[in-house]
Structure 1
Amino acid sequence: MQRRSRGLIAAAAALGMTASLAACGTSEGSSDVTLTLVAADYGDSAANSSQKYWDKLVKAFEAKNPGIKVKVSVYSWSDVDRKVKDMVAKGQAPDMAQIGAYADYAADGKLYSAPELLSIPVEADFLPQLSEAGEVDRIQYGMPFAASTRLLFYNKTLFEDAGLTPPKTWAELQDAARVLKSRGVKIPYALPLGPEEAQAETMMWLLSGGAGYTDNVGTYDIDSTENIRTFDWLRDELVGEGLTGSTPPGELNRAHAFAAFTRGDVGMLNGHPTLMQMAAKKGVKFGMVPMPGINGQAKAAMGVADWMMAFKQNGHAKQIGTFLDYVYSEKNVLAFSHEYDLLPVTTSASDAMSEDKDDRQLAEFLEELPNSELYPVGKTSWAQVSADIKQQIGKAVTENGNPASILGQLQREAAAEENAG
C-alpha cells in the first residue's frame, strides 16, 4: 500500500492535504447527513459487544462534527457478511461496512478507493503489507480494520512436568506430542480442520512447509509439491500416530480446540491473541512461540485482517472520509486493539503498542505481523476457494486420505473460480 517516503508523509501532514477534497461532488454540498455503518461484533458477550465501542466512538465524533451523524448496526460474525450482501443486493448498501471481505464489491465498482476518502497522513499510516492486501488492480479499496497473527501455544505445566522445551521443527513437535501422549494428555496437538476455520490451520501448515496458497506471483498453487508433502506428513506423522486426539481433525472446529486448551486437555495448538485471555481466565499457564517449520522456523507467520469499506451508492464521500480519519486515529485504533486483544493496523498505533510495557504479550504477535502472509483476499475468487477448503481439507488427513488428490481438486476448483471472475 504505502510506498511513499516518510518525508512525503510528513510534508503532506504539514500542508494539511486531504485526498477527500477530490471526492467532493454535487452530493457533498451539505454536510448535514447521517452515515450508516454495518460492523462485525468482536465481543463474546453483551458486556464487551462492539456496539459499545462504536457507541462511545460515535458520541465523541459527533460532538466534534455536529453536521455528521453516524448510525452503527453491529451483527455477529456468522451474520454480518450475509447482512451486507443482502443490503447491497436490494440496492440499500450502507455507507460503510466493516466485515471480512471486500474484493467482490470492489471488482463490481461499488466501493470508493481509499485515496478518495482518507487524508494522506491517515492513508499512509496503514501497515504496508495490510494496505497492499487491500488492493484490487493496484488500487486500495479495502482498509484494514483489525489484524492478528498466529503463534504456537503450548501448555507450560504439561511441558514442564514432561521436561519438554517448545518445538522449533516438525520433528521436535512430533517428539513432544509423543511424550505428551505417553503421559495421558488427551490432545497432544490440536489440529482443527473442521469447517469453522480450516482455511487458517491449513495455511499455517502450508507456510511451515515452505509454500502457501499461492506462488511468488500470486497464482493459486494449492497442490504444489511442498503442500502435498506437508499434508502427507500431517496424515502420517501426527494424525496417523494418534497425536491429534480422538476427534477427527475434519470434525474439530477452532472454538472446540480453544475450549479444550483452556481445560488443560491440549498440549499444543496454533492460536491468535484472544486465546491468551481465554486461557488466563481458566488459570492455564501457557507459552507462545513461532510456528515450527519443516527444518526450522516457518517461512512466515499467518496474518489475518478484517476490512473497512465504503460504498458509493449514497455519495457522502467527504463525510465518510472525515469519519474514517477519526476512526483511524492512533487513540481509537489502540482502544479497539486493547479491548479485543487484536493488533493495530497502523504504524503509529503499532509503534505505541510495541513501546508499552502493558502490551508485552501482544508484542509477541506484533513482531510477527510485518513479515506475515495474509490470505489472498484481493482475489474475488478467495471467498469461494476458502469455503471449498473448509469443506474438503479435513479429508486429506484421514486414514485413507489422499492429500495429492484433495489438494489437486482444490487447485482445479480455485483455478476455475479465478478464471470465471
Structure 2
Amino acid sequence: MRKTWITAVAVLLIISAVLAGCSQRSGSGNGANGANDSGAGTNDSGTAANGGGNAPKTDDSAEPAKTDGGEKVRLTVYSTIGELKNQDMMKSIAADFTKENPNIQVEFQFPGAEYENILKVKMAANDLPDVFDTHGWAVIRYGNYLADMKDEPWAANLTDTIKPVVTDKNGKVEALVLSEAKDGISYNAGLLEQYGIQPPTTFAELMDAAEKLKTESKGAVTPFFMSGIDNGMIGGFLDLYATSQYISPSTNDAATLLDGSFDWKKWTPLAQKLLDMQKKGYINKDVLTAKYTDMPQRFAQGKVAFVFGAPSFADEVYKVNKDVKIGIMPLTTMVDGDSPTFSGGERYTMGAWKDGKHLAESKKLIEFFARPENMSKIANATKLPPGLKDIPSEHEFTTYYEQFKDVRVFPYFDRVYLPNGMWDVMCKTGTALVAGDVSPAQFADKMKQEYDRLRNQ
C-alpha cells in the first residue's frame, strides 16, 4: 500500500512539472518575447506610455534564438514617426518582412523629441542604428555615415522632386524616401466656400481673404492659428515665407545666404508682415498661450481657416467633426512675378549605416519597404505623397497632391541657408516679436548676429 502511494505521488509530481513547462511556453507570447513575434520587437507597453514616443524606448526582448537556417540577425531601426497608428503601420510591414525572412528580427525605436540629440551622440561615437530616418538631413548631416543606395532596384524610381534632395554631388543616393514633405497651407475648405473665397495664390490675396473672414464673421473666424508655446508654428511661417521672399523668385538671395554676405536688413519686411498679421487680428488672440493641440478642435468647429504647413492634424479634426473638408494648397507668392511653391523634401526615410554589421540585411529590409504595396500603405497612413513614382494612394489629400504635382518644391529654408542652431533662434525671436518684446528691425539684427556666430563655429 505504501509503495503504491509513493508511486502515485511520483506520477503526480511528474505531471505537474510537465504542465508547468507547457504553461510557461504558452504564456511567453504575452511577455517580452511576444513582442518579437510581430517582427518589430518594440516594447508595446513603452509605446503606450510614451504616447507617440517623446522619450527613448528600450527593448527588453529576449536574445533571439537560433533557427535551423542559421543565427537570427537583429536589425535596429530608428524612426521619427510620432503617431501611434503610423508606428503600428511600420511595425506591421516589418512583421511581413520577418515572415519572408524568419532569420531577421526588426526592432523599431521611436525616440520622439529626443531623436535628433540621440542621433548626434551616436554619430559622435560612430555607433548608429542599422537603419535610420534622416529627417531632412540625408546629404548634409548624415552623408558620411550612410551606404550608397544608387544601385538598389528602387533608386531609379525616386520622384523628380525628391531625388535631388537625397542625392549628393557625386550621384550617391543616401536613403529611400518613404514620404515626401510638401508643406504649403492647409485650409478649411468649407469655410472658404461659405465666404466665397478662392484659395489665394499671392500673399496679398491671402491677406484679403483674412480680412474678409474676420470682418464678415464678426470675429467668429480666426484666419490663422499659431502657438507661442509650440513656437515651431511661428518659426514655420517664417521658414516657409523666407523661401518665397528670398529664394524662389528669379532674382533671389540664395547665393549671398550661402556665402555669408546676405544683407540681414532684408529680414525686417518679413518680420513686419508677421507683426501686421497679429495687429490686424488675423492671428488667434491667445497666440502666446495657445498650444498646437488646441488647433484641431477650433479648426473642426469652423473657428480657424488657415494653418501653415501640412495637414498632419487631419485625424484629430475628424475626431471632433468628421464632416470637415480640409484642403491643401501651395504657399502663396511674396514677390511679384513669382509662382507658388511648396517647401519640403524628406519627411520619413530609411537609410542604412554604411559601417553596420548587417548592411546586406539592412538593404534587404529597405528594399522590402520600397515595394509598391508597402509604399501605398505608408502613403495612405501618413497622408503624404510617396517618394517613389507610380505609387497608388487613396486618401483625402491624394487629389490635391495630384493637382499640384508640377508645383516647384524647395528644400526647407533653414536646412539649406541657415547654420545649425538658427531654427531655434527663428522660433524664439519670432515669438518675442509677436509678444512685443522685439521690433522687426531688432529681429533682423538678432538673425544677423546669430547667423554670423553659428556660421563661424
With normalisation by structure 2, the TM-score equals 0.70
Deviation of residue 73 (structure 1)?
2.2
Deviation of residue 95 (structure 1)?
0.8
Secondary structure at the counterpart of residue 167 of structure 1: coil
Q: Which residue number in structure 1 is paired with residue 119 of structure 2?
A: 84
Question: What are the residue-to-residue correspondences of 1:164-175 with 2, within 5 Å?
Answer: 164-175=197-208
Indicate the percent of aligned positions where both proteins have the same amino acid: 16
Give the one of 154, 161, 165 matched to 1:129. Answer: 161
Distance in 1 separating the partners of 2:160 and 2:196: 41
1:35 matches 2:70: no
Distance in 2 separating the partners of 1:378 and 1:172: 28
Deviation of residue 133 (structure 1)?
1.8
Distance in 2 separating the partners of 1:169 and 1:258: 25
Deviation of residue 304 (structure 1)?
4.3
Distance in 2 separating the partners of 1:328 and 1:255: 33
Q: Is the 8 A contact 1:157 1:285 kept in 2?
A: yes
Deviation of residue 335 (structure 1)?
0.8
Q: Which residue number in structure 2 is paired with residue 293 of structure 1?
A: 333
Distance in 2 separating the partners of 1:155 and 1:61: 39
Q: Is the 8 A contact 2:188 2:324 kept in 1?
A: yes
Q: Which residue number in structure 2 is paired with residue 324 of structure 1?
A: 366
Question: What are the residue-to-residue correspondences of 1:169-184 with 2, within 5 Å?
Answer: 169-182=202-215, 183-184=218-219
Q: Is the 8 A contact 1:211 1:226 kept in 2?
A: no
Distance in 2 separating the partners of 1:296 and 1:154: 24
Deviation of residue 244 (structure 1)?
1.0
Q: 1:261 to 1:271 in 2, by over 3 A?
A: farther
Distance in 2 separating the partners of 1:153 and 1:314: 40
Distance in 2 separating the partners of 1:367 and 1:163: 21
Distance in 1 separating the partners of 2:453 and 2:166: 23
Deviation of residue 336 (structure 1)?
0.7
Secondary structure at the counterpart of residue 53 of structure 1: helix
Summarize deviations over 1:12-37 as a string: whole Å, max 9, x none: xxxxxxxxxxxxxxxxxx99632221
Which letter maps to 2:147? Y
With normalisation by structure 1, the TM-score equals 0.75
Q: Is the 8 A contact 1:148 1:343 kept in 2?
A: yes
Stretches of structure 1 lacking an aligned partner (at least 5 in a row)? 1-29
Q: 1:164 to 1:379 in 2, by over 3 A?
A: closer
Which letter maps to 1:362? T
1:402 matches 2:439: yes
Summarize deviations over 1:184-203 as a string: whole Å, max 9, x none: 22522224565234442212
Q: 1:227 to 1:331 in 2, by over 3 A?
A: farther
Q: Which residue number in structure 1 is paired with residue 317 of structure 2?
A: 279
Q: Is the 8 A contact 1:153 1:271 kept in 2?
A: yes
Q: Is the 8 A contact 1:186 1:245 kept in 2?
A: no
Q: Which residue number in structure 2 is paired with residue 205 of structure 1?
A: 241
Distance in 2 separating the partners of 1:155 and 1:54: 30
Give the one of 303, 312, 335 matched to 1:265. Answer: 303
Deviation of residue 160 (structure 1)?
4.2
Distance in 1 separating the partners of 2:438 and 2:197: 31
Which letter maps to 2:174? Y
1:387 matches 2:424: yes
Q: 1:390 to 1:369 in 2, by over 3 A?
A: farther
C-alpha RMSD over aligned residues? 3.5
Distance in 1 separating the partners of 2:449 and 2:383: 37
Q: Is the 8 A contact 2:182 2:345 kept in 1?
A: yes
1:311 matches 2:348: no
Q: Is the 8 A contact 2:79 2:109 kept in 1?
A: yes
Secondary structure at the counterpart of residue 292 of structure 1: coil
Q: Which residue number in structure 1 is paired with residue 389 of structure 2?
A: 347
Give the one of 362, 380, 383 matched to 1:338. Answer: 380
Distance in 1 separating the partners of 2:356 and 2:417: 24
Q: 1:123 to 1:251 in 2, by over 3 A?
A: farther
Deviation of residue 266 (structure 1)?
0.9
Give the one of 130, 134, 140 matched to 1:95. Answer: 130
Q: Which has the larger radius of gyration?
A: 2
Deviation of residue 246 (structure 1)?
0.7
Q: 1:410 to 1:310 in 2, by over 3 A?
A: farther
- Equivalenced residue count is 374
Deviation of residue 390 (structure 1)?
2.0
Stretch moving more, 220-229 or 31-40: 220-229
Deviation of residue 414 (structure 1)?
3.1
Distance in 1 separating the partners of 2:384 and 2:210: 29
Q: Is the 8 A contact 2:157 2:388 kept in 1?
A: yes
Stretch moving more, 222-231 or 282-291: 222-231
Give the one of 228, 238, 241 matched to 2:280. Answer: 241
Which letter maps to 2:312? T
Which letter maps to 2:354? K
Secondary structure at the counterpart of residue 177 of structure 1: helix
Q: Which residue number in structure 2 is paired with residue 75 of structure 1?
A: 110
Distance in 2 separating the partners of 1:401 and 1:252: 20
Deviation of residue 419 (structure 1)?
4.0
Secondary structure at the counterpart of residue 301 of structure 1: strand
